[in-house]
Structure 1
Amino acid sequence: MKKRIFSILFLAALATLWACKLKPSYEVGKVYHGFKLVKKEFVKEVNADCLYFIHEKSGAHLFKIAADDNNKLFNIAFKTVPENDFGTPHIMEHSVLNGSKNFPVKSPFDVLRKGSLNTFLNAMTGADITTYPVASMNNKDYFNLMHVYLDAVFNPLLKEDPRILKQEGWHYELDSINGELRYNGVVYNEMKGAYSSPTRELGYQINKILFPDNTYGVESGGYPTAIPGLTQEYFVAFHNKFYHPSNSYILLYGNADLDKELEFIDKEYLSKYDRLDEKIEIPLQKPFEAKKYAEKPYPVPEGSSLKDKTYLSMSYVIGESTDMELGLALDIITDALVNNETAPLRLALQEAGIGKDVNAWVNDYKQNVLTIRVQNANLEDKDRFDKIVTETLQKVVDEGFDKETIDGIVNRLEFRLREGNSSQKGLMYLWQNYKGWFFADDPYLGLKFEEPLAAVKDGIKNGLLQKIIKEQILNNPHALLLVLKPQPGLEKVITQKIKKELADYKASLSKEELEKLVEETKALKEFQKSEDSPEALAKMPMLKLSDISPDVEWYNLEEKKVDNVPVLYHPDFTNDILYTNLYFDLRVLPQELIPYAQLLNQVIGLLNTKNYSYGDLDNALNINTGGFYTSISSFQKDYSDDNLIPKFVVTSKAFTEKGDTLFKLISEILINTKYDDVDRLKSVLARQQSRIDARIKNNGMGVALTRLSSYYNKSGVFNEQIQGLEYYNFLTDLTTNFDSKHQEISEKLAETAKLLFNKSNLIAAVTCSDEQFETFENGLKILNSTLPNNEVKLQTWNLVPTIKNEGLMAASKVQFVTKGYDFKKLGYKWSGKMRVLSQILSTDYLQTQIRVIGGAYGGFCGFSQSGNVYFASYRDPNLKSTLENFDKTPEFLDSLEVSDDEMTRYIIGTVAKMEYPTTPSQRGSIAISRYFYNITPQMLKQEKEEVLSTTVEDIKSMKPIVNDILSQNAYCVFGNTQKIKENKDLFKSILNVTK
């Protein structure tokens, strides 16, 4: 025993020495590869040493979170301050990733997307930040990504090549002298899609009025009608001003060698720049002297009813985002005042009959903006809304909040902060730290939540929340009451105005100028169609197939039984949290109750129960759990459409010490919910209808894809009934006719719950450590003792797919075009090589035809093991030409020529989508999903081997599959009403998607 202890101690000491050799001790004040260490501190909230450097020569800021995490993140951010609605920061974000000095390919981003092991690869534009994060678990890949991104932001080709702005931002498009002049461009069409959402328009108008004198009053993403104001000269000047190292903020996260990171960044980039004296600042907006009021329109289809389609909002500018205590307090106030089930403003508006849903949030710009928004209201409600908000705020100041409500909200906030349940922790910390870094020169500020949280908890006892409401909300003149009202046919008016603008501009051009524009259009398309030279591609860093392990990640699942209930147990370290799932089989329901299962999913936990009012229940869940959610998930055993396994899933989590309480609350909800409380049921259904109405308007892609799959497989028919247009129509009918149908609704919900929540119909699952399993077991026994234990009989459903080829008309400025089928119904079998096929089509053919040339925000396809295949375009200005491009895919495969290096990239990019970082709860969910699909380690290994061995000949040999899928001619389009009507001959039917 002594020898063994000595050996362990010796090895530990050796490991410590080796660690010291790998990780030198960094000292404050010393310079490392040009970086001076300004501060070093262990931050317990992130469980890591955090080091803050300033690069002496260039003035760049760098912050390293030296966490023991293999998923390494590199990010470089710039404080970007637009002064108009051109969308310059957003277009710049796209454009810097379209070629650079050291990587002169047309789109290094897309080359990386094709062939990197990244776990995250993107770039984002905020109101005051443009940021470029990449992450990878592979060390070589991590440094490759860093290299490409640094070159992109500091040495972009956009300065010398105006075609990049034209492609990514906007350009005039004229195919012939006699043709129609159009605007086109990726960001132009992306933002047209974004502004098809009324809530996006509402946010734009709020900020425009609240911040008339600084950058927050303009749209950094670009307002569609303003984007064509951006010129090449302005674009280049913007880059020169904001994309200098002195205005850069570099975040490094994870276990990469810091010395190597610093050496590389200094040697390759920062050492080539000199510090600038000018610091980019954003002035504070001067407060208003009095609250403002405004009305603005948004488009709805011609002939639409205006009833219940107005948005009412109240917004307040409150303090600065670097005040962490204020930020946490405002989060608590928005939940307590509005978002909680018994929040006083929610109840007051509900009692007054104003709107169908209300929510509140805080946008933490340099100055915080708290917004309260009511949707599905009416214009005549605005004065009462204003009065009720004021009266409710005053009542809270006078009487305070319910203590139990506040305790629950604070507990849930604290649980979320401490759990940190994200597999992309570097990205999570990026969003936490940049405000303090940008505006207080303190990258530690946003990470260290314990002290401000303790201060807020202490302050609550002494009236902190009431004080903030009185001084910074109720008596705050920097406020705005904004009404966004529907205007039928407004989109048509806007479209005609743009057409006239373009026609007038065209008429002002000479014949020579028109010919030049035609030539420029042709030249741009030729440029977009052209391929990168082998020499340019060779400069892009890449991995080898030998860098990829042939092994697969398998998450253990132990099958147990507790009180004769099957239990799926995934053992994992969860930091004393129980992650539980309860799976109830939906096949016990007759087919006509399928939509009621979704309705049950939406209302359960929000209604009164035998022993709790809905408010007390909400408080109890907040105080004792980290979350309670329900959902409907469908699995397909052996990936067969004939083996649909639909489950009603109850998901919850809690610290082990609250395990028994968690299961008692679950039991109360499942067994004792009162479905016959008419007033409460009416209120909850109206809210859910309002939310799905907003989702339908904002998620054209999801609507079209769900509808499409219902054309050709049973699982698609099922999904349409629980989340598609069919469910939306079902719910809208119930809410519209609630007074005559409420008894039937209550009875159907009770019947659905009684059939589902049965001990014999349950499979339980948990992710926790072995030490915690006993707590879960005891809790499950508590639940089991309350569930009925009746014999289960699974029903046979007659789910019949029908190809409908519909045009779904909406007040949208763009289209979402989808086409697909089920290859298994055509006699084909799944192979992992189909993953590579999907990667090639998405990142090459469709990317080029739909996005680069067509101007859509995205074009892609998907192949699944179940047989489902889809082709899709996202925020697309086109319709018919996109369907034609889908149909030309077999021609692309026929002529496909791919070098060995290109195929390697495609394969590596495919593997990246199969392997990603996970949290304990995610690993448990993956293991359970594999159980229901009947996936084995051997199947995963075979699939990976098929991917790794894919050849060009394999891809070309799949042309018949693609051809047969597209030949079924099943498609669905969600889009602009006029565009769909212009192409009505393509559709079997056209219909309005919302009421």
Structure 2
Amino acid sequence: MKHMIYLVAITMMISMWSCSDGPAHKEGEVYHGFRLIENRFVEEVNANCLYFEHEKSGARLMKIAADDANKVFAVSFKTLPQNDYGTPHIIEHSVLNGSENFPAKSPFDILRKGSLNTFLNAMTWPDYTAYPIASMNNKDYFNLMHVYMDAVFNPLLHSDPRILKQEGWHYELDDMDGEITYKGVVYNEMKGAFSDPERQMGYHTYKVLFPDNTYGVSSGGHPEAIPELTYDYFKNFHKTYYHPSNSFIFLYGDADLDKELEFLNSEYLSNYEKQEEKLEIPLQEPFSEKKTLEESYSVPEGSDTRDKTFLGYYYVAGLTTDQDLTMALDIISEALVNHESAPLRLALQEAGIGKDIYAYVDDSKQNIFQFIVQNANPEDGEKFQEVVSETLRKVAQEGFEEEMIEGIVNRMEFRLREGDSPYKGLIYLFSLKNSFLFADDIYDGIEFEKPLAAVKEGIKNGMLQQIVQDYFIDNPHALMMVFKPEPGLEKEMSEQTKAKLAEYKASLSEEELQKLVEETKALKEYQQAEDSPEAVASIPMLSRSDISTDVQWYEVAEKSIGDIPVLHYEDFTNDIVYANFFFDLRPLPQELIPYANLLSQLLGKMNTENYSFGELDNALNIHTGGFYTYLNSYLENDSDDKLIPKLRITAKATVDKTDKLFELLDEILNHTKIDDTERLKELLIRHQSQVESQAKNYGVGVAMNRLTSYFKNAGMFNEMINGLTYYDFVTDLTENFDSRNEEIIANLQKVASLLIKKQNLIAGITCSGENFTTYQEAFNNFVPELAEGEVSLNQWKFNLEPKNEGLMSSSLVQYVTKGYDYKKLGYEWDGKMEVLNQILSTDYLQTQIRVMGGAYGGWAQVSPTGTLMFASYRDPNLTETLDNYDAGAEYLQNFDADSTEMTRYIIGTISNIDYPSTASQRGTIAMSNYFKKETKEKMQKERNAILNTTAEDISGYAQLISDVMSQDIYCVYGNDQKINAHEELFESVRQVVQ
């Protein structure tokens, strides 16, 4: 439900905020060149929302004058690509690589090093590009606004072709006899993105659905097309789209509106003349008949292709500006597909098609309703169409189950009203996207009450059935796709690219080759060169006096109810209770740890004594705002020898539903029918599909988990519940379920009986003091239902050993990790290591891995628990990256920064520590502090160390890096050919997905 991602958190409890009164602004009046078109109080955001147009330049601006210190600024542009070059995406990167007022090579990276921002990024959608920042510091907020406005309107990309080469693509040739290769940050980013089969599937799909407008091409860029982008085309695209008349400026929070408008007008917008021509996206004409498509994606050579096909159904369904329709489509996506007892989900299960299915609405100018089946087979395509058609006809005739719809609407409404996010301004920005791009009323994106009421009324009158009939059954603007695996396809494509580059090289004269070698060398020298002191000094920064010296500290009050410890974090939550239940995992024998995670995935989805699984899903939707079960762990005093693992259950509900929340908790914990073999098999098959998808599409997470499992107890625990070890476990159970189901059920029942006991529970609650009384009464009624019994904690002994594995996949890029536990080498944690982490991530690895190496990212992780790790993301390299990791010690030996540079690094470090939070998040932090035995005094000591870190302290860590890297422990997830070509590096190699 992509559309709901924008809406879900856009609102907050109305009583939480008071509107910022500020000066009275009158409609029709001009303020610093901005004419106020409308000043509307919007109840959903509980603030005055002022909509302006800058008369001279044509820029549009919305200010949400909320009483929120976490201020947001963004400037956005409608950007409409006509091909797969990725021009909008490459420009998004490139404008942040120097501008007229800030001529450093990358002001963005300098800001990352030393700003108190709470958000700093840029992003490209299929139809627009946004540059948002957020900060709780007023001075920092205006500094960031200044840099971003200069970046988008006065970038150096028009005069410096090296920016396109670095961020987009270039030919690289180190010597006359070498191979020419493609390099570039976006080029490699998109190679990584297109390693995901579902990304490829979407690319092929949209090409068919939208052959005549911008949605039929990749705004991010297709790796095969990016090298076709020329410098002239690149510059002209920026000139065309990056004009104030094509912009939308968004302001949110408690900053002075008069100061904001004055700055934007005087520094930037007054320099432009309004353009009358509006850039529009033509609607795609509907098809006369539904289309079908079959395409292939790559899997490693020798892979088993059974159960690896994706099936997709897509409908272009009306306009996104039709709020009633778009909201109703979101509801249908849940009711038709995503709900536990959704009719299409059940029908496909019964037909034996695929292992999992999900649906969502992509809200471009025209809605695209889509559902995708995973782990099917090509021959399922015809039956898939039949099942879909039959199910849609049945739904159109009979409607959806009333309780199901009631629950889905309730959950949607709960999320809309809750607004449990500290980044409300950013959420409003994204919610306004389609309003500023397409709608007649720009306020539509943040006003949900009217469409919500209309949809609730429409449901009573058959609205959902009519939409199914009109936009699905009778709609020919549709596509059915079969996306099947093809072993070795990536190798074939790679060889084609090599042949193309070889042919290009052969076409060059000796003089041209020499020129290319020289250009390669010059670009690397440019990338390695440091900015001049004047360029760096141009980037505005704060002083140390702008940093608070005090830590953010949250702690619980330790209470008890019925002999059960209760951790109460008291805060205003507007009558929502955020309940937590922690069951210690250590009563389990070690071999059952993976079963504990499997149990957590089943709770709430199985039949129980009093509910079918569908009825239970309905009840949870109707009476709660969410119910989640998962495993996590804490390290007491940051010691890897003191692992505190928990089965954690979280649930939230309005205070008047607290009794019902506990009733459902009791039903799930004490009355789940784990021995329901048929339902267990269904869920296990689906879960295996999801775990496999995660393993294939989250390479950096797989590699980082695997690496830490070599040397950390916490790492091994995470690997057993969330890594390849767990994938192997779940896959084995799934493949052998029919012969082992009794064993599986017995183990799950054993895990439940050992864990879910009164004596093994610690409860946590975030709510007001007044609401605690209601919670206590409901808890007292729940306690007698819990099983009782002695609890004995086991001492787990993990076998930790370096494996230095190469994890092979069809990925076009690598994820390279290397590290160790520095505490095992005799080092201890110090707060200054937070600054070390910031410097290594934003300076050394950023330069060597991203700028020089062409990867999408590289960073360090230096943890109080002892982990010191380097990682790269969407990296074209392997051995070069490992070499760069090893050279980190030399970088630190030569590290020399003056007081201004150190201040910048220290500010950036604090920015990563201080961030806005909601009541529920503060409660979670407080409970974590309790289990970790964290103290305010310890945190304050670490903060003091950060604030007093010197360049000499940083250079003193050279030996630490040298000692960690010399352990030579690494794990690489990447392209099977690349890993096989360097097989000598690895103790073992394996396919990620067997």
TM-score range, shorter chain: over 0.9
Question: Relative to structure 1, is the Cα distance of residues 559 and 360 closer, same or farther in structure 2, using a 3 angstrom cutoff?
Answer: same
Match of 1:692 in 2: 691
Which structure 2 residues correspond to residues 953-968 of structure 1 after superposition, within 5 A? Answer: 953-968=952-967
1:331 aligns with 2:350: no
Letter in 2 for 1:632: L
State the shift of 1:437 in Å.
Answer: 1.5
| Kept in 2: contact 1:817–1:882 (CA 8 A) | yes
State the shift of 1:776 in Å.
Answer: 1.2
Inter-partner Cα distance in structure 2 for 1:196 and 1:37: 47
Inter-partner Cα distance in structure 2 for 1:24 and 1:368: 40
Match of 2:6 in 1: none
Letter in 1 for 2:227: P
State the shift of 1:88 in Å.
Answer: 0.4
* Larger displacement relative to structure 2 (259-268 or 551-560): 551-560
Q: Which whole-Å deviations, capped at 9, do the CAs of 1:76-133 have from their partners, x for residues lacking one?
A: 1000000000000000000000000000000000000000000000000001010000
Match of 1:673 in 2: 672
Match of 2:460 in 1: 461
Match of 1:148 in 2: 147
| Kept in 2: contact 1:675–1:749 (CA 8 A) | yes
Match of 1:6 in 2: none
| Kept in 2: contact 1:127–1:220 (CA 8 A) | yes
State the shift of 1:602 in Å.
Answer: 1.1
Inter-partner Cα distance in structure 2 for 1:21 and 1:797: 55
| Kept in 2: contact 1:556–1:571 (CA 8 A) | no
1:860 aligns with 2:859: yes
Inter-partner Cα distance in structure 2 for 1:525 and 1:759: 63
Match of 1:396 in 2: 395
Match of 2:303 in 1: 304
Match of 2:924 in 1: 925
1:410 aligns with 2:409: yes
Paired residue secondary structure (1:445):
helix
Q: Which whole-Å deviations, capped at 9, do the CAs of 1:177-232 have from their partners, x for residues lacking one?
A: 11000001000000000111101011111111000000000000001111001011
Inter-partner Cα distance in structure 1 for 2:155 and 2:713: 49
Question: Relative to structure 1, is the Cα distance of residues 812 and 145 closer, same or farther in structure 2, using a 3 angstrom cutoff?
Answer: same
Match of 1:225 in 2: 224
Letter in 2 for 1:230: L
Aligned length: 977
Which structure 2 residues correspond to residues 477-516 of structure 1 after superposition, within 5 A? Answer: 477-516=476-515
Match of 2:3 in 1: none
Match of 1:889 in 2: 888
| Kept in 2: contact 1:437–1:445 (CA 8 A) | no
Match of 1:93 in 2: 92
State the shift of 1:441 in Å.
Answer: 4.1
Question: Relative to structure 1, is the Cα distance of residues 21 and 671 closer, same or farther in structure 2, using a 3 angstrom cutoff?
Answer: closer
Inter-partner Cα distance in structure 2 for 1:179 and 1:639: 49
Which structure 2 residues correspond to residues 145-544 of structure 1 after superposition, within 5 A? Answer: 145-544=144-543
State the shift of 1:22 in Å.
Answer: 8.8
Match of 2:103 in 1: 104
Paired residue secondary structure (1:446):
helix
Inter-partner Cα distance in structure 1 for 2:26 and 2:941: 50
Paired residue secondary structure (2:432):
helix
| Kept in 2: contact 1:170–1:184 (CA 8 A) | yes
State the shift of 1:364 in Å.
Answer: 0.0
| Kept in 2: contact 1:345–1:392 (CA 8 A) | yes
| Kept in 1: contact 2:758–2:783 (CA 8 A) | yes
State the shift of 1:783 in Å.
Answer: 2.2
Gaps of 5+ in 2: 1-17
Paired residue secondary structure (1:753):
helix
Inter-partner Cα distance in structure 2 for 1:518 and 1:123: 33
Question: Relative to structure 1, is the Cα distance of residues 834 and 20 closer, same or farther in structure 2, using a 3 angstrom cutoff?
Answer: closer
Paired residue secondary structure (2:442):
coil
Inter-partner Cα distance in structure 1 for 2:78 and 2:906: 36
Match of 2:590 in 1: 591
Paired residue secondary structure (1:127):
coil
Paired residue secondary structure (1:376):
strand
* Larger displacement relative to structure 2 (432-441 or 97-106): 432-441
State the shift of 1:857 in Å.
Answer: 0.3
Inter-partner Cα distance in structure 1 for 2:755 and 2:601: 15
1:815 aligns with 2:806: no
State the shift of 1:20 in Å.
Answer: 13
Match of 1:982 in 2: 981
Letter in 1 for 2:177: N
Inter-partner Cα distance in structure 1 for 2:788 and 2:867: 37
Inter-partner Cα distance in structure 2 for 1:961 and 1:894: 11
| Kept in 1: contact 2:19–2:65 (CA 8 A) | no
Inter-partner Cα distance in structure 2 for 1:453 and 1:24: 32
| Kept in 2: contact 1:22–1:257 (CA 8 A) | no
| Kept in 2: contact 1:75–1:131 (CA 8 A) | yes
Match of 2:119 in 1: 120
State the shift of 1:984 in Å.
Answer: 0.5
| Kept in 2: contact 1:99–1:105 (CA 8 A) | yes
Match of 1:759 in 2: 758
Letter in 1 for 2:597: Q
| Kept in 2: contact 1:710–1:720 (CA 8 A) | yes
TM-score if structure 2 supplies the norm length? 0.98
Paired residue secondary structure (2:443):
coil
Q: Which whole-Å deviations, capped at 9, do the CAs of 1:127-170 have from their partners, x for residues lacking one?
A: 10100000000000000000000000000000100000000000
Inter-partner Cα distance in structure 2 for 1:855 and 1:449: 43
| Kept in 1: contact 2:19–2:67 (CA 8 A) | no
Paired residue secondary structure (1:772):
helix
| Kept in 1: contact 2:72–2:135 (CA 8 A) | yes
Inter-partner Cα distance in structure 1 for 2:935 and 2:991: 44
Question: Relative to structure 1, is the Cα distance of residues 21 and 174 closer, same or farther in structure 2, using a 3 angstrom cutoff?
Answer: closer
| Kept in 1: contact 2:860–2:870 (CA 8 A) | yes
Gaps of 5+ in 1: 1-18
Inter-partner Cα distance in structure 2 for 1:795 and 1:318: 56
State the shift of 1:791 in Å.
Answer: 1.1
Letter in 2 for 1:785: P
State the shift of 1:21 in Å.
Answer: 12
State the shift of 1:443 in Å.
Answer: 2.2
| Kept in 2: contact 1:434–1:443 (CA 8 A) | no
Inter-partner Cα distance in structure 1 for 2:729 and 2:854: 36
Letter in 1 for 2:383: R
Paired residue secondary structure (2:188):
helix
Match of 1:914 in 2: 913
Match of 1:12 in 2: none
Letter in 2 for 1:201: Q
Question: Relative to structure 1, is the Cα distance of residues 442 and 899 closer, same or farther in structure 2, using a 3 angstrom cutoff?
Answer: farther
Paired residue secondary structure (1:444):
helix
| Kept in 1: contact 2:310–2:482 (CA 8 A) | yes
TM-score if structure 1 supplies the norm length? 0.98
Match of 1:625 in 2: 624
Match of 2:798 in 1: 799
Match of 1:13 in 2: none
Inter-partner Cα distance in structure 2 for 1:887 and 1:21: 53
Letter in 2 for 1:104: P
Match of 1:7 in 2: none
The list of structure 1 runs, each at least 4 consecutive aligned residues, that deviate by more than 6 angstroms after superposition, is: 19-22
Inter-partner Cα distance in structure 2 for 1:147 and 1:22: 26
Inter-partner Cα distance in structure 2 for 1:388 and 1:890: 60
Paired residue secondary structure (1:767):
strand
Q: Which whole-Å deviations, capped at 9, do the CAs of 1:428-451 have from their partners, x for residues lacking one?
A: 101111201210143210100001
Question: Relative to structure 1, is the Cα distance of residues 333 and 804 closer, same or farther in structure 2, using a 3 angstrom cutoff?
Answer: same
Question: Relative to structure 1, is the Cα distance of residues 514 and 929 closer, same or farther in structure 2, using a 3 angstrom cutoff?
Answer: same
Inter-partner Cα distance in structure 1 for 2:439 and 2:855: 39
Letter in 1 for 2:58: G
| Kept in 1: contact 2:699–2:815 (CA 8 A) | yes
Match of 1:564 in 2: 563
Letter in 2 for 1:493: E
Inter-partner Cα distance in structure 2 for 1:776 and 1:959: 53
Paired residue secondary structure (2:24):
coil
Paired residue secondary structure (2:456):
helix
Q: Percent identity?
A: 61
Inter-partner Cα distance in structure 2 for 1:20 and 1:253: 12
Q: Which whole-Å deviations, capped at 9, do the CAs of 1:663-719 have from their partners, x for residues lacking one?
A: 110111011111111111111000000001111111000000000001111111111
State the shift of 1:798 in Å.
Answer: 0.9
Inter-partner Cα distance in structure 1 for 2:152 and 2:883: 36
State the shift of 1:556 in Å.
Answer: 3.4
Match of 1:663 in 2: 662
State the shift of 1:604 in Å.
Answer: 1.1
